[in-house]
Structures are given as C-alpha cells and as structure tokens.
Structure 1
C-alpha cells in the first residue's frame, strides 16, 4: 500500500477531494499551489460526485471511473476501443500498453474470462495508484508490468491477438510507440487474425505522421473511428492486409455484445463500416 494524502480540491471549477502519492506531513499548501499552477508533475486522483478520475494536470483527464461500478467505461473513446470484440470476440492473448486509471483493464478482466492480459505501464506512479481504481491484483490472467511498451512488444515471445495502445501522456504519444519500426514490429507480433487498437488525440497535425506510419506498416489495412464527444480517433490495424470484415455477419455479433456488455456495438459496427468505406474511397481517388 502506497502512502497517499487527501485534501479538498484546490480547483474551484472541479470540487471534491484530491489524493496524491505524498508522505504524511507534506506541505499541503505548497502542493495545492503546484497543482493549481500545473507544476506538480505527477499523476493524481480527483474524486467528486461518485466519479474518480486520474489526472496528469487539471486539463488532462487520463481516465474516469464510476466508484459504484469500476468496470463500467465512462469515456466514449474507451467504449469504442472495445470494438475490437467485433473482430475477435474471444482473444486468448491481449497486451495493453498504458494502464492509466485501469478502466479498460477492469473491463477486459471482468468480461473476458478466457483472455490473458498483460498491461505495460512506464510510469511507476500510475501503477502505484492502481488500487484507487480497483485494478485487480495480478493473477494467472492479469499481469501489470512496469516497463517500456515498445521494449515489451519487441521482446514478447508469443503471438498477440489484440494489442491495445492507450499510452497518452501530457506530451502526447511517446515517440517510441509512434515510430514506423514499432508499428512494423507490432504487426509481426500479432497472430494471423490479430488486431492493433490505438487511441490518438490532440491536434491533427501532431498525430498525422503517426497515422501515416501505421498505414504504411500495415499496408493500409487500417480502419478509423472518430469519437466526437472526446475529440479522439480510434484506429484498428489488422495483421492480415487482405482482411475484409463480414459486415452483415458482424451485425449479429454486435447485437449479442450489446446485450452482454451494454455498449452500443451496433453503432460501433456502423461507424467502422463507414470508416472503411471512406478509406477505400480515398485510396481509389489518390
């Protein structure tokens, strides 16, 4: 158990309480000032109204958890990242780069009992806050690893059915996770029907080059899904460049997933189909 201190939120626009990984007896007023001016430099917890959020700064919410239901996905981008289940409803091996507040880890651990999940997180402070976000202890199905995601993918000995990348920090995606070499290596680690799922956000000019590298490494076998409410894009890249989703068959899968997981999988399937159609049109007009 890591030491945490708690005090009322210093942010007038965000009431509640904050929790910090600081020892008892710390200078609360100095910490409040650093939180307000953005110089604190470590992840912290902000809790209010039944929700608990992981922040790197007030303006950057990494994850949100409903305290009464830790496995429910609150943010639109996290909900849409689960659309990989439309392509592979029962992955055996899943690797997640970026633990964050653990919402996707909790969701997958609860709802995919046949999946082994390895989560790689580079920030030890984020891992230290896992209990605040009800991330289960490591067991035979779940492992949280302190390390570099790019190194883990390079050294992984087996095949990965789903590789999920949600590793944004205050400065965006780490360059090691957005290089052509990483994407090429990641594709090589995927199983024959494997899929890479990546969250991209921020200024389009900032991440456009990352998207182009991903398209090149995966021979254009990529579908994009927009998340208007969060301003994100979710990218799905497939090991098999000739993979052609069976959209009519997928609708039945989407309805079953919606009943079981209470997310709008039929809507996700429609977005994905439109995304592929748009990509094909752009490719033909190029």
Structure 2
C-alpha cells in the first residue's frame, strides 16, 4: 500500500508508506525504513532501537515541570508512546511538514495543546536560547532518506542538546554503529557532555543508542537502579531490567554504587 502525495517541496524528502502483517512503515522514497506502527497498538514501540531511546527512564521520571523533547518525528513512534504514557508536555521538532501530514493521516498522530510538532531545523532549535533548560529528556533521531548518518552531528549541535537539558536531564541519541560517521559523532558527543556518556551495544539492525547526562553528577546505588528498572518495566512494558544489565556490563559500571 502506498500513500499518494502532491509533488514534494524540493528541499524535502518525499514520505511514502507500506504495510505488512499488521505493521505500517514509513519510507523516504527508498527501501530504508524510517519508522513503523503496529496498527492494532499504535502506542507500542515496534523496533528495539526505539525502545532503547526510552532508556532515559532508568535515570529520570517523566518531568512534571519541564517538557520532553523529540528531534525527528519519523513515523511518530516516540511521540505516540510519550503521549500515551506521560502527563508531560511533549514537543517534537520535524523539518519536513509532509512527514507531519502523513503521520496525522496514517500514523495516528494527534496534536494537542500538550503534544505538538514544531516545523524547524533541529540544529537551529537546540541553539535557540528560548529552549535552554526547558526539557528534562531529549531524544535525538535525525536521519535523511538514506537512513545512515545523522543529519546533525557537530559538536556545536550536541552542545545545544546539552543546553536544552542543562539543569538536570538525559539525552538519548540514535547512531549507526557500522556507519563511517559513528566515531565522529561519539567524539563530538563526549566533548559536548564532558564524557558523561554510556552506550548500548549495537542492535541487530545496526542502531547504537547513546545516553548522555546533564546537570550535577549522578550517583546512585545499584539496588536503586534495579528497583527503578523494575518499575519502568512494569509501568511501560519495556525491557528495562535487561537494559540495566546490558548498560552496566557494556560500560564497565561495577560495584554497589554507580556514577554517571
């Protein structure tokens, strides 16, 4: 199944959709999948990497006094999940208004006063002083139609991400572990966040999720983390206890007291 659109703006990649076995997919005129939605359960995160993008919940509850930010709408998976589960205000930054339109018509996107899409360049948005310290959590998933290297990857961009969550926050970033841009991105992320960074191992699809921390150093007992992971798993049906084991092992975090 394909969704017919008018001729695209020359600066935008043209979104199309396909569907198979109850899952609807978003593409940008290529075979690369940009996002997916299980039609019977629109709020479910279909891919392992989108689930891992929510791993900030291991360290921070959904903020009540600040917003949740998402850079890159894709098929709206992260936006739908947050809207379904959180009372926080949710702001999604998307460059291409055609993506927003197709998400509204085919991917159950429902904009409200507390869940809105902003059509802006993500690089400009993170550098806007109006967004400084306005977000408790920020998820960064910025890819063009090739779905390989992030379209925003400079140290200055990641410094902007840090400022968005300056006082106390967690940023998750989707990278491709096998892509040539990976090392450059990791280097720039580590510099921007003073090396307060941990990583998931690469998924079977090649995604590698980075978690970066802002604000004062975080020191928590292993038992507190375990209890938090159990709560996240119960509340959101996410594999949080497995995340915790993987992250501790992958990043050499040992002992009864863990620092981030």
- Deviations 1:46-87, CA, capped at 9 Å, x for gaps: 012211000124420011100011000110000111111111
Contact 2:174 2:207 in 1 (8 A): yes
**What's the counterpart of residue 80 of structure 1?**
52
Q: Deviations over 1:221-263 (max 9, x none)?
A: 0000124222111001111363345332111111112112111
User: Does the aligned pair in 2 maintain the 1:77–1:227 contact within 8 Å?
Assistant: no
The within-5 A match list for 1:147-186 is 147-155=120-128, 156-159=130-133, 160-171=135-146, 172-174=149-151, 177-186=152-161
Summarize the alignment of residues 44-63 of structure 1 with structure 2, pairs less than 5 Å apart.
44-63=16-35
Q: Tell me, in whole angstroms, the C-alpha distance in 2 between the residues paired with 1:22 and 1:48.
A: 24
Q: Which residue of 1 aligns with 2:224?
A: 249
Q: Larger RCO: Structure 1 or Structure 2 (Cα < 8 Å, ≥ 6 residues apart)?
A: 2
Q: Is the 8 A contact 1:221 1:243 kept in 2?
A: no
Q: Cα RMSD between the aligned structures?
A: 2.1
- Please give the alpha-carbon distance, in whole angstroms, between the structure 2 residues aligned to 1:199 and 1:62: 12
SS of 1:233's equivalent? strand
Flag the structure with higher strand content.
1
Which structure features the higher share of helix residues? 1
- Unaligned segments of structure 1, at least 5 residues: 1-16, 24-40, 280-286
Separation of aligned partners in 2, 1:82 and 1:275: 18
Compute the displacement of 1:189 (Å): 2.5
Q: Structure 1 residue 22: deviation in Å? A: 3.3
What SS does the aligned partner of 1:45 have?
Answer: strand
Q: Could you tell me which residue of structure 2 aligns to residue 27 of structure 1?
A: none
User: In the alignment, which residue of structure 2 is the partner of 1:211?
Assistant: 186
Question: Residue 97 and residue 186 in structure 1: after superposition, are their counterparts in 2 closer, same or farther (change >3 A)?
Answer: same
**Contact 2:126 2:163 survives alignment (8 Å):** no
- Does 2:3 align with 1:19? yes
Structure 2 counterpart SS, 1:173: coil
Kept in 2: contact 1:220–1:241 (CA 8 A) = no
* Equivalent residues of 2:30, 2:145 under 8 A apart: no
What do residues 188-214 of structure 1 show as CA deviations (whole Å, max 9, x unaligned)? 231422111100016342221011011
Give the Cα separation in 2 of the matches to 1:244 and 1:178: 29
2:257 corresponds to which residue? none
Residue 234 of structure 1: which of 204, 209, 230 is its match?
209
Which stretches in structure 2 are left out of the alignment for 5+ residues? 8-12, 255-260
Give the Cα separation in 2 of the matches to 1:97 and 1:107. Answer: 15
Match of 1:107 among 81, 88, 111: 81
Alpha carbons 1:183, 1:217 under 8 Å: kept: yes
Specify the SS of the correspondent of 1:226. Answer: coil
Q: TM-score, normalised by structure 2?
A: 0.87
Q: Aligned in 2, Cα 1:218/1:121: closer, same or farther, shift over 3 Å?
A: same
1:244 and 1:59 mapped to 2: Cα distance?
43
